[in-house]
Amino acid sequence: MASSETSQWKAYNYNPSLAAAVVFIVLFLIVSIIHVFYLIRTRTLFFIPFIIGGLFETVGYIGRAMSAQQSPNWALGPYIMQSTLTLVAPALFAASIYMELGRIIRVVHGEQLALVRVTWMTKFFVAGDVLSFLMQATGAGVLASSHSSTNSTGTHIIVGGLFLQLIFFAFFLASAITFQRRIQKHPTPESVADYIPWTKHMMALHTSSVVILIRSIFRVIEYLQGQDGSLLSTETYLYIFDASLMFLVMVTFIYIHPSEINCLLGKGHRHVTRGGLALTEFKMGV
């Protein structure tokens, strides 16, 4: 039975596109390098998980490019690289996004208006994110190493991890929206100060959260449909609802970099752009 399942196993229901994989290798590598540069210059250390997520995406699509050159006799290693790393990378993006909300709330002194107590907000959301990450990584490992298109254990673990990610991210988005509505009704002196442009950073959080939610819903449907479903059988969907959306998330935080919030808390430097020139402003505290 085991040998029969192995012989029937297929990594892909199509021949992966080498050109598409190379395009996203280049795109993710570029934005990851930019984020590393900003991290070094601004010391926005809570964005380290975000950068690791970008590197996961890059290496994942390197694995996909390797698979594209092996069609139809795919090796297991590159398949595991692309399936696991691109699956779990958004959980690393989410970890940094969770941490930024707590910093925004503190910088405008709106702790009393937060839906979740700020002192344990980051711990709560990041703990859920880590659990989701581990479940997805474990499920991907089980699914990839099983060599069986009929294996359900790995799929169930992945779907469970994705559902957990959806629940935590939906609650996070609700918390962010609730906080913004409350502070707009009951503004603090800091929230109306010109030198704290916190609303644009909230917009970046909202945008990225919605994008990651869309991607996670796509992934849930993809795995629920199974190996022969339309989503896993058509490569285009992966690039539209996963690769492109995650690239958009990374670009969003280049355009609205969280170093500004970190700087206002006295924890580093701020990256700004003026007249087309990238500058770094130094600030020791508010």
Q: How far is CA 148 from CA 10, 81, 143, in A?
A: 8, 17, 8
**Residue 44: which domain range?**
2-282
Q: Give 69's contacts (C-beta < 8 A, 6+ positions apart).
A: 18
For 100-127, the pLDDT digits (tens) are 999 999 999 999 999 988 888 888 998 9
Q: Give 208's contacts (C-beta < 8 A, 6+ positions apart).
A: 93, 97, 249, 252, 253
For 208-257, the pLDDT digits (tens) are 999 999 999 999 999 888 878 899 889 999 999 999 999 999 999 999 99
DSSP 189: T
DSSP 148: -
From 2-6, 81-85, 87-91, 105-109, the region with the lowest mean pLDDT: 2-6
Residue type, 31: V
Q: Report the C-alpha gap between 230 and 251 in whole angstroms.
A: 29
Residue type, 166: L
For 193-211, the pLDDT digits (tens) are 988 899 999 999 999 999 9
Q: Report residue 209 as tokens.
A: 């959260």
Q: Count the domains in the chain.
A: 1
**Total-model pTM:** 0.87
- Count CA atoms closer than 13 A to 190's CA, side-chain side: 14
